[in-house]
């Protein structure tokens, strides 16, 4: 294995994911068909930044994402965080002050019980592991009014927001979390609510183009019942001057289910309720002065068009620059908390460096991708090639242009939020970094002894006497991640080299074959040659091939099977392999 070989087999493929030509072609033009700048950009975030600058916004430029609290904060939830991050970084690089906000729609009601939750460490747990009753007793109430089922935060909403905030921090992204509940409580939404309720005819006419349930009696405000604490949709009167509404706590329909209202009739202020989400979204743009917002393609055909219409017709503002991103799949299947097809950021960072995760989101957001944990080595290989291109080590002009622009943002150099290298000396040269190919790191993960890991890496030429100590440390840090990957996916690298010679009983012919193989290895052959020679050696000594391989596995792993043995032996220190084959050590 050589470092430069990884990933080069697709260099002639014009459709490969990291081609900057593909990225720029797909990025050209805003969602409304306009473009602020016709200049070719190798990085899609520059195209978006052009569109934002074309509107001549005041600083700070505000970038927003948003999420509704749910059971599990998984890697799909950071889509908007990371898409927004790269645009924010480009704008900062151009001299702008930028705020990156992330709103939690936490005044929404809990409509159904999640099947899974995530604890404070991001670990997925079932409802049986928490106080599920804290959720079940509070269906229909705002997330901020529901106790944290883990008993750690002031509410379930706060628990979920803390998870997302921690994920952003783990990825080195500076995000300001904003609670919708807080915005209502401090009066930030007062004017927006008054605007909506002061011209119901216009709101009904506009919203009715997008939602069938809007009729002549529809009042777009959802009070929180003072008696039972549930969100209700039945407003019976509006007092604009007093800033209140009268309501009845009626049933809330959730698909085929019904959350029963308590029947209470009362009065609520504009701060004691919320706008329906279709209106709340454009209201956020106005309240927070949002300049850019990325969102998933599920919003592109419904929520976004209605948001644009309502922003202009009801609130009298222009919507922010949008960017629709394509959802990615996980192992070929859609991300689904209920189906268990999710991976959290902490789980992902157990097998990947933060910069590799950031690289995944730096690839063009409008191209469908699959995050296949079983073949995560391919993603790492692509990142390594991208990194080498930045340092001028790859003969690919397009990839190099992409890397030269995007790599500093992937690494967090521009913002002072580095993804890696926190313990590098101040005078360290990043060009001195070392990356073990991921599968080689997985091979090293079969070895428990850290000193032996480093020695094997030196034997293979990945590090030498001129490699800085910090670079060796960083390179070796990939080993534990690759080892975790092997264990989690139970792949061909999920074996452990036995440091001490296992006790094995061998037939004379098998022992003779092992001695012959030891002579072959001592002569200096590589792993591929050793693999082929094992078949020849078995036949020359009248030993069944399967028995010969099992003997080798017993010697090195104390198990009857393992990885491709010859190739694995080729990665190990030659003297150690020869001694072990001769049953000497």
pLDDT in tens, 10-30: 434 434 455 555 555 444 444
CATH of residue 536: 1.10.10.350
Q: How far apart are CA 197 and CA 203, in angstroms?
A: 8
Question: In which residue are the tokens 């006790």 written?
Answer: 503
- Output the tens digit of pLDDT for each of the chain's 585 residues: 333 333 344 434 434 455 555 555 444 444 443 444 567 789 999 999 999 999 999 999 999 999 888 778 888 888 889 999 999 999 999 999 999 999 999 999 999 888 888 888 888 888 888 888 888 889 999 999 999 988 889 999 999 999 999 999 999 998 999 999 999 999 999 999 999 999 999 999 999 999 988 999 999 999 999 999 999 999 999 999 999 999 999 999 887 789 999 999 999 999 999 999 999 999 999 999 999 999 988 888 779 999 999 999 999 999 999 999 988 888 988 887 766 788 889 999 999 999 999 999 999 998 888 999 999 999 999 999 999 999 999 999 999 999 999 999 999 886 665 655 557 888 899 999 999 999 999 999 999 989 989 988 998 899 999 999 999 999 999 999 999 999 999 998 999 999 889 999 999 999 999 999 999 999 999 999 999 999 999 999 999 999 999 999 999 999 999 888 998 898 888 899 999 999 998
**Bridge partners for 333 per DSSP:** 330
Instruction: Give the tokens for residue 491.
Output: 């792949």
Residue 115 · residue 71 · CB < 8 Å:
yes
pLDDT of residue 30: 44
pLDDT in tens, 430-450: 999 999 999 999 999 999 989
CATH of residue 64: 3.40.50
| Residues 43 and 172 occupy one common structural domain | yes
pLDDT of residue 355: 95
DSSP state of 315: I
- Which residues 6+ apart lie within 8 Å of 8 measured at CB? 385, 394
Instruction: Report if residue 280 sits inside a domain.
Output: no
| Residues 101 and 175 occupy one common structural domain | yes
Instruction: Report if residue 243 sits inside a domain.
Output: yes
Closest CA to 53 of 100, 82, 95, 21: 95
The percent helix, strand, coil of the chain (3-state, each to 5) is: 45, 10, 40
| Residues 349 and 395 occupy one common structural domain | yes
Instruction: Give the tokens for residue 547.
Output: 């028995």
Q: How far is CA 77 from CA 19, 71, 118, 279, in A?
A: 26, 12, 13, 22
Query: Among positive and negative, which fits the CA dihedral 436, 440, 443, 447?
Result: negative
Q: What is the DSSP string of 449-478?
A: -HHHHHHHHHHTTSS-TTS-HHHHHHHHHH
Q: How far apart are CA 181 and CA 158, in angstroms?
A: 11
Residue 57 · residue 291 · CB < 8 Å:
yes
Instruction: Report if residue 7 sits inside a domain.
Output: no
Closest CA to 172 of 279, 101, 40, 82: 82
Q: How far apart are CA 506 and CA 508, in angstroms?
A: 6
**Bridge partners for 294 per DSSP:** 323
Range of the domain at 242: 200-275
DSSP-based three-state secondary structure for 45: helix
Q: How far apart are CA 196 and CA 155, in angstroms?
A: 29
| Residues 159 and 62 occupy one common structural domain | yes
Q: How far apart are CA 330 and CA 74, in angstroms?
A: 11
pLDDT of residue 55: 96
| Residues 93 and 146 occupy one common structural domain | yes
| Residues 98 and 147 occupy one common structural domain | yes
| Residues 456 and 568 occupy one common structural domain | no
| Residues 174 and 237 occupy one common structural domain | no
Instruction: Report if residue 392 sits inside a domain.
Output: yes
pLDDT in tens, 145-192: 999 988 889 999 999 999 999 999 999 998 999 999 999 999 999 999
| Residues 44 and 169 occupy one common structural domain | yes
**β-bridge pairing 321-325 and 292-296:** parallel
Closest CA to 526 of 566, 556, 495: 566
Q: What's the number of domains the chain is made of? A: 4
Cis peptide before 60 (omega within 30 of 0): yes
Instruction: Report if residue 3 sits inside a domain.
Output: no
Q: How far apart are CA 152 and CA 158, in angstroms?
A: 9
Closest CA to 66 of 222, 294, 288, 322: 294
| Residues 244 and 105 occupy one common structural domain | no
pLDDT of residue 422: 55
Last residue of a domain, one of 260, 275, 290: 275
Q: How far apart are CA 325 and CA 484, in angstroms?
A: 30
Question: In which residue are the tokens 């012959």 written?
Answer: 516
Question: In which residue are the tokens 């592109």 written?
Answer: 300
| Residues 518 and 389 occupy one common structural domain | no
Cis peptide before 568 (omega within 30 of 0): no
Q: Count CB neighbours of 212 within 10 A.
A: 6
Q: How far apart are CA 318 and CA 279, in angstroms?
A: 14
Question: In which residue are the tokens 């080069």 written?
Answer: 8
Instruction: Give the tokens for residue 312.
Output: 């202009």
pLDDT of residue 24: 55
Q: What is the DSSP string of 362-426?
A: HS-TTS--EE-GGGHHHHHHHHHHHHHHHTT-S--HHHHHHHHHHHHHHHTTTTT--SS-TTS-T
Instruction: Report if residue 30 sits inside a domain.
Output: no
Scanning 54-177, the segments in alpha helix (DSSP H) are 79-93, 133-136, 156-170
Half-sphere exposure of 522 (CA within 13 A, CB side): 11
Q: How far apart are CA 118 and CA 102, in angstroms?
A: 19
Instruction: Report if residue 311 sits inside a domain.
Output: no
pLDDT of residue 452: 87
Instruction: Report if residue 13 sits inside a domain.
Output: no
| Residues 436 and 483 occupy one common structural domain | yes
């Amino acid at each position: 294995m050589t470092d430069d070989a990884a990933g080069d087999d697709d260099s002639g493929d014009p459709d490969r994911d990291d081609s900057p030509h593909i990225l720029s072609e797909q990025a050209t033009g805003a969602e409304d068909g306009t473009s602020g700048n016709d200049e070719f950009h190798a990085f899609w975030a520059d195209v978006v930044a052009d569109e934002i600058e074309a509107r001549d916004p005041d600083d700070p430029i505000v970038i927003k994402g948003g999420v509704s609290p749910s059971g599990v904060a998984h890697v799909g939830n950071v889509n908007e965080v990371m898409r927004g991050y790269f645009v924010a970084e480009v704008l900062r690089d151009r001299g702008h002050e930028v705020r990156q906000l992330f709103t939690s729609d936490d005044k929404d009601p809990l409509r159904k019980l999640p099947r899974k939750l995530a604890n404070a460490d991001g670990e997925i747990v079932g409802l049986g592991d928490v106080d599920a009753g804290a959720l079940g007793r509070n269906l229909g109430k705002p997330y901020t009014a529901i106790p944290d089922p883990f008993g750690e935060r002031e509410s379930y909403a706060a628990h979920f927001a803390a998870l997302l905030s921690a994920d952003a921090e783990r990825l080195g992204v500076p995000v300001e979390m904003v609670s919708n509940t807080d915005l209502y409580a401090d009066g930030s939404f007062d004017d927006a609510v008054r605007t909506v309720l002061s011209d119901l005819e216009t709101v009904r006419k506009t919203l009715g183009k997008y939602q069938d349930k809007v009729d002549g009696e529809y009042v777009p405000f959802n009070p929180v019942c003072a008696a039972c604490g549930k969100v209700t949709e039945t407003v019976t009167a509006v007092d604009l001057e007093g800033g209140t509404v009268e309501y009845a706590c009626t049933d809330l329909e959730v698909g085929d289910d019904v959350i029963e209202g308590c029947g209470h009739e009362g009065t609520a202020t504009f701060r004691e309720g919320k706008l329906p989400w279709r209106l709340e979204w454009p209201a956020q743009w106005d309240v927070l002065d949002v300049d850019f917002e990325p969102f998933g393609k599920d919003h592109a055909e419904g929520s976004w068009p209605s948001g644009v219409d309502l922003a202009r017709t009801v609130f009298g503002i222009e919507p922010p620059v949008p960017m629709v991103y394509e959802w990615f799949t996980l192992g070929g299947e859609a991300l689904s908390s209920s189906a268990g097809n999710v991976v959290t950021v902490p789980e992902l960072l157990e097998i990947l460096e933060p910069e590799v995760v950031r690289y995944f989101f730096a690839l063009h957001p409008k191209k469908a991708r699959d995050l296949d944990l079983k073949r995560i080595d391919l993603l790492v290989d692509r990142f390594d090639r991208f990194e080498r291109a930045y340092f001028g080590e790859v003969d690919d002009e397009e990839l190099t242009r992409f890397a030269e622009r995007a790599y500093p943002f992937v690494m967090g150099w521009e913002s002072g939020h580095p993804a890696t290298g926190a313990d590098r000396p101040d005078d360290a040269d990043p060009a001195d970094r070392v990356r073990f190919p991921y599968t080689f790191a997985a091979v090293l993960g079969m070895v428990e002894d850290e000193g032996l890991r480093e020695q094997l890496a030196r034997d293979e030429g990945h590090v030498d006497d001129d490699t800085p100590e910090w670079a060796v440390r960083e390179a070796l840090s990939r080993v534990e991640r690759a080892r975790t990957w092997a264990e989690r996916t139970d792949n061909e690298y999920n074996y452990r080299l036995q440091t001490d010679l296992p006790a094995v009983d061998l037939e004379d012919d098998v022992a003779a074959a092992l001695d012959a193989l030891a002579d072959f290895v001592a002569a200096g052959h590589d792993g591929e040659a050793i693999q082929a020679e094992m078949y020849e050696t078995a036949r020359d000594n009248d030993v069944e091939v399967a028995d010969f391989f099992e003997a080798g596995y017993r010697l090195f792993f104390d198990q009857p099977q393992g990885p491709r043995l010859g190739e694995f032996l080729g990665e190990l220190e030659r003297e150690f392999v020869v001694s072990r084959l001769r049953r000497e050590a």
